[in-house]
Amino acid sequence: MKFTKKSKIFTISIVLALTISSLVGCSSKEKSNEKNKAASGYENINAKETEDLLASGDDIVVVDVRSKDEYDMGHIDRAMHIDYNEFNDNLSKLDDYKDKTVLLYCKTGNRSEKAAKILEKNGFKKVYNAEDGVEEHDYKLVK
């Protein structure tokens, strides 16, 4: 099959247009995800990111939202305990930390994510949820 000069230019134009549109589409999706993350007020982080945050030396507030019994069995060093089931009633304990970095964790990341959403709604700006809870990752726990 013989291609004319016009058909070659047309084919190249189509390939180029598709390539550019796929790149723009990916870029837009990434920017959209970044906007959602920034707009959410909190960020889910994995175990490695959680460990890095804990080791950073930054002035962070660590909050364990598990039950009292779970907390007493072992918790991250320097973690304050606020049971998720009583979280709304104890928000005042965190009032002084609205502008600080807050790291929330629990057993599986579920309760701590719900607590992160509560903090977001209450004006906290830098909230991180350890989505890999103590059941999924071997954090260094103290009693």
**Residues catalogued as catalytic:** 106
Residues 139, 140, 142, CA angle at the centre, nearest 5°? 125
Question: DSSP readout, 48-115?
Answer: HHHHHHHHT---EEEEE-S-HHHHHH-EETT-EE--GGGTGGGGGGGGGGTTSEEEEE-SSSHHHHHH
DSSP state for residue 127 in the 8-state scheme: E
DSSP state for residue 132 in the 8-state scheme: S
CA 67 – CA 85 distance, rounded (Å): 8
Q: Which two tokens stand for residue 48?
A: 């490695």
CA 8 – CA 89 distance, rounded (Å): 70
